[in-house]
Amino acid sequence: MNNIAVIDYGMGNLRSVAKALEYVAQGKARVQVTSDAREVLQADRVVFPGQGAARDCMRALIESGLDLAVREAVELKPFLGICMGMQVLVESSAENNGTECLNIFPGKVSNFADVLNSPDDEVHYKIPHMGWNEVTQTRDHPLWGGIAQNSRFYFVHSYYLEPEGPDLLVGETEYGIRFTSAIARDNVFAIQCHPEKSAAAGLRLLENFTRWNGEA
């Protein structure tokens, strides 16, 4: 049976992610929430969810040794990053006065507050960006299968990812600025929104992941 590991590093909405994966897998996959690096690396697929602050996330990963498991899983098997689980894949985050991240992909995480709501702006945007918003698919990917262009997903975040180049980009969203809301390379797909809270479109993305062989 297909084994899916949901990484538990002490932060994030792990149970809701696991329940959503169990629902879409329809008994064809075993979903395990685990903080054991060995179990992560033995799984067929890995999900890295998260929420909260980048500094706390990185500290928890390093103290548990799960940072090494994440790095290895990214190299070996289908891998899905969600929310903070996407942001920490790049080099650094502006959060907490600057936080070094996993540096798996080139890029940085910036603060909406630094670019939105200047005195001259006619529209005021609430921060965090919270609620339903459209995701524009910028290129085809197996995880977009069966999901209509500009489908709405659920977001909760104050920081946004800026990849160094366009090659990682697979999804964009408009919120005062146009920001990267999904990235992919090889066997890795990561998304800023919460698919487990995103109704039919989010469940379809998770279902696609349970079947994905890691090839773009």
The CATH number of whichever domain residue 89 belongs to comes to: 3.40.50.880
Residue 122 domain-assigned (yes or no): yes
Given this model, what pLDDT does residue 119 score? 74
For 152-196, how does the pLDDT look when each residue is reduced to its tens digit (9 = 90+)?
A: 999 999 999 999 989 999 999 999 999 999 999 999 999 999 999
Average pLDDT across the chain, whole number: 95
Residue 128 domain-assigned (yes or no): yes
Residues of the chain with pLDDT > 90: what percent? 88
Q: Which of 172, 143, 161 is nearest to 102 (CA)?
A: 161
| Cα-to-chain-centroid distance, residue 35 | 18
Given this model, what pLDDT does residue 14 score? 87
User: For 22, how many CA atoms within 13 A lie in the half-sphere containing its CB?
Assistant: 11
For residue 13, is pLDDT > 80?
A: no
Given this model, what pLDDT does residue 110 score? 98
For residue 79, is pLDDT > 90?
A: yes
For residue 121, is pLDDT > 80?
A: no
Given this model, what pLDDT does residue 104 score? 97
Overall number of domains in the chain: 1
CB atoms within 10 A of CB 173: 22
- The pTM of the full predicted model, rounded to 2 decimals, is 0.96
**Intra-chain end-to-end CA distance of the chain, in Å:** 23
Given this model, what pLDDT does residue 35 score? 94
Residue 70 domain-assigned (yes or no): yes
Residue 89 domain-assigned (yes or no): yes
Determine the average pLDDT of the residues in 205-209: 98
Determine the average pLDDT of the residues in 67-92: 96
Given this model, what pLDDT does residue 179 score? 98
Residue 216 domain-assigned (yes or no): no
Looking at the annotation, which residues are catalytic? Answer: 83, 194, 196
For residue 120, is pLDDT > 80?
A: no
Distance CA 183, CA 66 (A): 22
For 19-76, how does the pLDDT look when each residue is reduced to its tens digit (9 = 90+)?
A: 999 999 999 999 999 999 999 999 999 999 988 889 999 999 999 999 999 999 999 9
**Domain containing residue 195:** 2-211
